[in-house]
């Protein structure tokens, strides 16, 4: 960045504390140090790092941090009088929550990338910010670098958002993409993702959908002006997705993706994370590798898609810096942004009552009456069939059934019924469907 913009330096600098100097924190510190004069001009006041809280002073770091900035006393740092803006990039619930609350109570505005904390206990943080008259921004918490939370909070706030569907976890998208491209099994694709450093040694949070569920809660809360926590989100990961499921989707011109879905259902909201079959013509089907994207449906704007890097130190730090400049501008003006908007106070629909569609692939005996028996199983549970395709294989046949919309519990009961039928040798694949399959 250029360094000839000195006009803003006449005003009082804003003190910044960075909590955590790992993958994201080290890049935040680097960008703050390198972007010095431009950032000052954009904020309207210089941003001065007062300290970087770390666990160990002598730990190896990706970025060189001036030794005098490092401290192991995070609590002392956030309470300093000359700290106006705090960046929390430690992660997890504690000590992150206690530190953010202390920062807010001390009058500082806060940027955090901590989806786990926001999804578990966001309201406590919003209320503390409200009480203190300070800002709490967290664009990096969902889909890393991709601007999606502030578009929902600001740009789309005059519209009526009806649905948000996101590929918000890069690790699982990478795994599913490899399964689709090479016909790899889940374990094989996971091992590759771990080798390349996408998946962590303990990949549970990603592959079991916990990371995506936290993001779904945040998206649902912002899109629908309500409070949704991680425990409200129905969650299925990708560990049960087989090469057969992916092949079945391929045969239908579809692809399997792990989606975080937040949807309005009357006055209620539905929030869920599970594998989904979507047609290859859907914009989300084009999101490959570890990329993320969030698809938004709204009454007036229509369909929108936000695409980019959902993880990584520098991309995530970009979102943190964007928030930091914004809360810095507010501080410099003696103002604050609009806080939490949860006026709609919507109930969260249980998954069983959420309306979905299923794709079911069955291995059946190729005999008279099989199709009729399968169709009866669907109708007995009040589920209407949209399409059936049969492929013969000698004595056996494969039946692929795509349902119309029905409550998820009715669809699950239909599948259970099919499993118990004599004609059905195997329920080879069951997958929920989104888009025009
Ligand atoms: N890495 C990404 O791509 C990414 C993307 C989006 C959001 N995030 C979020 O950003 C946050 C940070 O993630 P990360 O990948 O940088 O994690 P990380 O583990 O690389 O960094 C966290 C750092 O905090 C330090 N730390 C722990 N306790 C501390 C304490 N008490 N005081 C000071 N430092 C302490 C750790 O030593 C570590 O260096 C998390 O909330 C994460 O969910 C990360
Ligand atoms: N583990 C996450 C990182 C960002 O939250 C992912 O794979 O997308
Ligand atoms: Na983001």
Residue 206 lies in a domain: yes
Please indicate, yes or no, whether residues 153 and 140 belong to a single structural domain of this protein. no
Cα distance between residue 244 and residue 5, in whole Å: 59
Closest atom of ligand 2 to 198 CA is: 7
Report whether 110 belongs to an annotated binding site.
no
Enclosing domain of residue 393: 352-433
What CATH code is carried by the domain that includes residue 55? 3.40.50.720
Residue 134 lies in a domain: yes
Please indicate, yes or no, whether residues 367 and 386 belong to a single structural domain of this protein. yes
**Which residue, 309, 344, 378, sits at the end of a domain?**
309
What is the best residue among 56, 69, 96, 113 to mutate for testing ligand 1's pocket, by most ligand atoms within 8 Å of CB?
Answer: 113
pLDDT of residue 223: 98
Residue whose C-alpha is closest to residue 386's, from 359, 412, 366, 364: 359
Q: Name the residue with the closest Cα to ligand 2, atom 4.
A: 311
Cβ atoms of 265 and 354 closer than 8 Å = yes
Residue whose C-alpha is closest to residue 62's, from 99, 13, 25, 105: 25
Which residues contact residue 65 at a Cβ distance below 8 angstroms, ignoring those fewer than 6 apart? 21, 26, 29, 52
Tokens 């609009």 sit at which residue? 338
Closest atom of ligand 1 to 114 CA is: 41
> Could you say which ligand is closest to the alpha carbon of residue 175?
2
Residue 347 lies in a domain: no
Residue 49 lies in a domain: yes
pLDDT of residue 392: 76
What's the residue count for the chain? 437
Please indicate, yes or no, whether residues 57 and 165 belong to a single structural domain of this protein. no
From ligand 3's centre to the CA of 250, what distance in Å? 30
What CATH code is carried by the domain that includes residue 381? 3.30.70.260
Q: What are 43's two structure tokens? A: 């904020």
Please indicate, yes or no, whether residues 256 and 269 belong to a single structural domain of this protein. yes
pLDDT of residue 198: 84
From ligand 1's centre to the CA of 293, what distance in Å? 23
Q: What are 130's two structure tokens? A: 């409200």
Q: Name the residue with the closest Cα to ligand 2, atom 3.
A: 311
Please indicate, yes or no, whether residues 74 and 90 belong to a single structural domain of this protein. yes
CB atoms near residue 323 (< 10 Å): 26
Q: Which residues are catalytic?
A: 215
User: What is each CA distance from 226 to 91, 100, 124, 217, 229, in whole angstroms?
Assistant: 24, 22, 14, 10, 10
Instruction: Please report the sign of the dihedral spanned by the C-alpha atoms of residue 81, residue 82, residue 87, residue 92.
Output: negative
Helix/strand/coil (H/E/C) assignment for every residue in 94-148:
CCHHHHHHHHHHCCCEEEECCHHHHHHHHHHHHHHHHHHCCCEECHHHCCCCCCC
Say yes or no: CB of residue 54 within 6 Å of ligand 1. Answer: yes
pLDDT of residue 14: 98
Residue 80 lies in a domain: yes
Closest atom of ligand 2 to 144 CA is: 4
Strands 292-298 and 161-167, bridge-based pairing: antiparallel
Please indicate, yes or no, whether residues 266 and 325 belong to a single structural domain of this protein. no
Hey, which residues does 423 pair with through a beta bridge? Answer: none
Report whether 51 belongs to an annotated binding site.
no
Report whether 20 belongs to an annotated binding site.
yes
Residue whose C-alpha is closest to residue 417's, from 387, 385, 376: 376
ipTM above 0.95, yes or no: yes
Cis, bond preceding 95 (omega within 30 deg of 0): yes
Q: What are 46's two structure tokens? A: 């210089």
From ligand 1's centre to the CA of 91, what distance in Å? 5
* b/e code 275-312 from CB counts within 10 Å (16+ = b): bbbbbeebebbebeebbbbbbbbbeeeeebebbbbbbb
The SS3 of residue 92 is coil
Residue 326 lies in a domain: yes
Please indicate, yes or no, whether residues 138 and 18 belong to a single structural domain of this protein. yes
Q: What are 178's two structure tokens? A: 């490899």
Torsion of CA 358, 362, 368, 374, to 10 degrees: -30
Report whether 155 belongs to an annotated binding site.
no
Cα distance between residue 34 and residue 321, in whole Å: 12
**Which residue, 333, 367, 398, sits at the end of a domain?**
333
Strands 234-235 and 161-167, bridge-based pairing: unpaired
From ligand 1's centre to the CA of 207, what distance in Å? 19
Cα distance between residue 353 and residue 63, in whole Å: 50
Which residues contact residue 357 at a Cβ distance below 8 angstroms, ignoring those fewer than 6 apart? 386, 402, 403, 404, 405, 406, 411, 432, 433, 434, 437
Ligand 2 binding pocket, CB closer than 6 Å: 144, 169-171, 206, 211, 310-311
From ligand 3's centre to the CA of 189, what distance in Å? 26
Say yes or no: CB of residue 120 within 6 Å of ligand 1. Answer: no
What CATH code is carried by the domain that includes residue 164? 3.30.360.10
What is the best residue among 170, 197, 199 to mutate for testing ligand 2's pocket, by most ligand atoms within 8 Å of CB?
Answer: 170
Please indicate, yes or no, whether residues 38 and 175 belong to a single structural domain of this protein. no
Residue 342 lies in a domain: no
pLDDT of residue 200: 79
Number of H helices, E strands in the chain: 14, 18
> Could you say which ligand is closest to the alpha carbon of residue 213?
2
> Could you say which ligand is closest to the alpha carbon of residue 197?
2
Q: Name the residue with the closest Cα to ligand 2, atom 5.
A: 311
Please indicate, yes or no, whether residues 127 and 153 belong to a single structural domain of this protein. no
> Could you say which ligand is closest to the alpha carbon of residue 316?
1
Q: What is the pLDDT along the chain (437 residues), one digit of tens a residue?
A: 444 444 444 689 999 999 999 999 999 999 999 998 999 999 999 999 999 999 999 999 989 999 999 999 999 999 999 999 999 999 999 999 999 999 999 999 999 999 999 999 999 999 999 999 999 999 999 999 999 999 999 999 999 999 999 999 999 999 999 999 999 999 999 999 999 888 878 899 999 999 999 999 999 999 999 999 999 999 999 999 999 999 999 999 999 999 999 999 999 999 999 999 999 999 999 999 999 999 999 999 999 999 999 999 999 999 999 999 999 999 999 999 999 999 999 999 999 999 999 999 999 988 889 999 999 999 999 999 999 998 876 778 999 999 999 999 999 999 999 999 998 999 999 999 999 87
Say yes or no: CB of residue 361 within 6 Å of ligand 1. Answer: no
Please indicate, yes or no, whether residues 303 and 318 belong to a single structural domain of this protein. no
Q: What are 187's two structure tokens? A: 């374990």
Q: How far apart are the first and last CA of the chain?
A: 48
Say yes or no: CB of residue 284 within 6 Å of ligand 1. Answer: no
Cα distance between residue 218 and residue 5, in whole Å: 37
pLDDT of residue 197: 83
From ligand 3's centre to the CA of 146, what distance in Å? 4
Residue whose C-alpha is closest to residue 91's, from 223, 183, 214, 268: 214
The count of structural domains within the chain is 3
Please indicate, yes or no, whether residues 318 and 429 belong to a single structural domain of this protein. no
Q: What are 116's two structure tokens? A: 């786990």
The SS3 of residue 308 is strand
Q: Cα 177 to chain center, whole Å?
A: 18
What is the best residue among 18, 20, 317 to mutate for testing ligand 1's pocket, by most ligand atoms within 8 Å of CB?
Answer: 20
Please indicate, yes or no, whether residues 169 and 120 belong to a single structural domain of this protein. no
Report whether 287 belongs to an annotated binding site.
no
Cβ atoms of 375 and 385 closer than 8 Å = yes
What is the best residue among 311, 315, 320 to mutate for testing ligand 2's pocket, by most ligand atoms within 8 Å of CB?
Answer: 311
Residue 339 lies in a domain: no
* b/e code 414-423 from CB counts within 10 Å (16+ = b): bbebbeebeb
Say yes or no: CB of residue 25 within 6 Å of ligand 1. Answer: yes
The SS3 of residue 347 is coil
């Amino acid at each position: 960045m250029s360094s000839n913009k000195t006009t803003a330096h006449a005003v009082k600098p804003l003190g910044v504390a960075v909590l955590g100097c790992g993958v994201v924190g080290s890049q935040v510190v680097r960008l703050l140090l390198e972007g010095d004069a431009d950032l000052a001009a954009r904020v309207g006041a210089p941003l001065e790092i007062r300290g970087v809280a770390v666990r160990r002073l002598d730990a190896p770091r990706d970025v060189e941090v001036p030794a005098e900035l490092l401290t192991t006393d995070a609590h002392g740092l956030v309470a300093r009088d000359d700290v106006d803006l705090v960046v929390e990039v430690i992660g997890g619930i504690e000590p992150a929550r206690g530190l953010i609350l202390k920062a807010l109570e001390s009058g500082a505005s806060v940027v955090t990338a901590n989806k786990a904390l926001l999804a578990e206990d966001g309201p406590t943080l919003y209320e503390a910010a409200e009480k203190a008259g300070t800002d709490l921004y967290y664009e990096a918490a969902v889909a890393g670098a991709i601007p999606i939370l502030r578009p929902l909070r600001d740009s789309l706030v005059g519209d009526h958002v009806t649905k948000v569907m996101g590929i918000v976890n890069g690790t699982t998208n990478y795994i599913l993409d490899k399964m689709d491209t090479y016909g790899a099994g889940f374990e094989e694709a996971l091992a590759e993702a771990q080798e390349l450093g996408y998946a962590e040694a303990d990949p549970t949070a990603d592959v079991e959908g916990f990371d995506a569920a936290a993001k779904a809660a945040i998206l649902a809360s912002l899109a629908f002006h309500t409070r949704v926590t991680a425990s409200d989100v129905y969650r299925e990961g990708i560990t049960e997705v087989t090469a057969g499921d992916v092949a079945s989707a391929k045969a239908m011109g579809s692809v399997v993706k792990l989606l975080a879905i937040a949807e309005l259902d009357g006055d209620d909201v539905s929030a869920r994370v599970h594998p989904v079959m979507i047609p290859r013509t859907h914009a989300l089907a084009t999101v490959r590798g570890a990329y993320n994207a969030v698809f938004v449906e709204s009454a007036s704007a229509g369909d929108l898609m936000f695409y980019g890097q959902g993880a990584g130190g520098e991309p995530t730090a970009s979102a943190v810096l964007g928030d930091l400049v914004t809360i810095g501008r507010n501080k410099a003006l003696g103002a604050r942004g609009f806080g939490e908007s949860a006026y709609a106070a919507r109930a969260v629909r249980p998954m069983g009552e959420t309306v979905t569609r299923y794709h079911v692939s069955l291995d059946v005996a190729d005999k008279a009456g099989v199709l009729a028996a399968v169709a009866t199983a669907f109708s007995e549970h009040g589920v209407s069939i949209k399409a059936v395709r049969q492929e013969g294989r000698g004595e056996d046949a494969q039946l692929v059934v795509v349902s119309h919309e029905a409550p998820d519990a009715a669809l699950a009961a239909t599948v259970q019924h099919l499993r118990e039928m004599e004609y059905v040798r195997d329920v080879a694949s069951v997958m929920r469907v989104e888009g025009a399959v």
